Structure formats: C-alpha cells, structure tokens
Homo-oligomer: A and B are copies of this chain.
C-alpha cells in the first residue's frame, strides 16, 4: 500500500504559493518518497470546490489510498467541503488562526489570501520596481543609477549575480545591481574600476570554486577559452585578490542556492526586506 505513488494536492483560494511552499518544506523531511503533486489555485467558489471534492474522491478510488491535501483555504464553506472529501487534510492556515486571534485580540478577516492585497500595498510596486531595477542595471549595462542601489554585487561571469539580484528584488524589494569583473579589471597596474569607487560601501563580492564555474560555463560555451578550467582559476583568484585588497566582503556560493545566497547577503549586509 505504502509503495503506491501518492497524490499531494495543494489547494488555495488564491495562487496556492503559500500552500506549495509550506507543503514542500514539510515533504522535504521525508526523503525517498515519490509523490504526484497537483496544484489547485483560485478555488474561490462553491462550484469549483465541488469539482475539487470530486477530483479528490476519484483519486482515492483510483489509487486505493487517500491523498494528502495541503490547504490554505480561508472561506469556511469551501474549506469544509474539501475537508469532507476522502483525504488527509492539513489545514495550514486555520490550524493557527484561533490562537493568533486570541493573542492579537482581534478576529481574522477570513478574506481570500493575498488577493488584491498584494497589489494594493506599496510593497508590490516596490518589488516590481526593484526587479525592473535589477534587469535595467544587469551586468553593468547601466551604472548611472547606482546611487539608488541597496547593494551592488561584483564577481566574474556566472557566479549567480543576476539571479540573485532579480530574486532579491522580487522577494525582498531590495534594489540590487551587479557589475561583472572581466580580465580588464585584472590587468597589472589597472586600478579598481573607477566608477565603482563612490559606491564602495555597497559592494559585495561573489566567488565560486573553479571546478564548479568550469562546469557552469561549459554548459553555456563548451570547449572555449571562457569555460576552460585554467581561465576560471585565473579569473577567480584575481577576483579574490581584488576583493581582499579593496576590503570588499565576499561569499563563496559553490554550495548555495540563490535563495541561500540572497538570505545570507541580507543578513551580512544588514539589509531588511521592506515590510508588507
């Protein structure tokens, strides 16, 4: 019975992103089990709820085992409907709401997730602005707006600068620019890039192990000078010398995801996500 691939449903009245994020975190504690995952966002009417109810019951019948449902449904009737289906129901929101209500001395609004709210607060505009900023200043395209930057990432090509900047904008509303270090910056007697000097306090370096960089670059341009291990070794060692000489804090991202890089930079540079 336990060896049958089991279905996981993420059900929400809104985007289902919270249900997925929480559900994935919980499931990541159970390595080696395979699941079929189904996301059901925008379940915001009784009619849609009935369809989900039927879909879950059909799944139970077909597989002979109840699926697991991670729900962030807020609407009482819709939630109750899904809860009554043949499933193992994890109520990610309601489980905590009662205790939060008594703690905050306030009733919850029982409105559907972030819907509209996301758009209406200034944080959304800020996040979009920050993300566009990351794209507009990507790869040193434009350095004229560096005074707006919360942080400027520097590093050689393919050290996760761009995805980290975009992620920091999207997730935290942080304005992150990035500037690529190229061979020019490493020539003997070549000074530290003049245009970065006024922004020295905002600079943060990224580095990576040469073997890993070699593999990443090889996917992009195989068998090139750019992707050769030798070239990666030279660029990285010179970048690290430059970081050290110029007192730029830096991070080795070899074993880090973009989420981990971004969170680490936030912490080390004492940056704060702009609050909702």
Identify which of residues 72-109 in chain A touch chain B, using a CB-to-CB cut-off of 8 Å: 72, 74, 88, 90, 92-93, 95-97, 99-100, 103-106, 108-109
Query: How far, in angstroms, from A111 to B27 measured CA to CA in the complex?
Result: 12
Query: Does the CB pair A119–B255 fall under 8 Å?
Result: yes
Size class of the contact patch on chain A:
35 or more
A-B contact pairs, 9 of them (CB 8 A): A2-B105, A15-B259, A17-B21, A18-B22, A29-B111, A37-B276, A88-B99, A131-B166, A163-B170
Minimum distance in angstroms from A139 CB to a CB of chain B: 10
1/0 per residue A20-50: CB within 8 Å of B?
A: 1110111111110101010101100000000
Could you tell me the distance between the alpha carbons of A162 and B74 in the complex, rounded to whole angstroms? Answer: 31
Contacts of A28 in B (CB 8 A): 113-114, 117, 276
Q: How far, in angstroms, from A166 to B106 measured CA to CA in the complex? A: 38
On whether A109 and B30 interact (CB within 8 A), knowing A90-B99, A128-B163, A167-B170, the answer reads: yes
Q: Are B170 and A106 in contact (CB under 8 A)?
A: no
List chain B residues, Cβ under 8 A from A275. Answer: 35, 37
Chain B residues positioned under 8 Å from A22 (CB to CB)? 18, 21-22, 92
Instruction: Decide if A197 is an interface residue (CB 8 Å cutoff).
Output: no
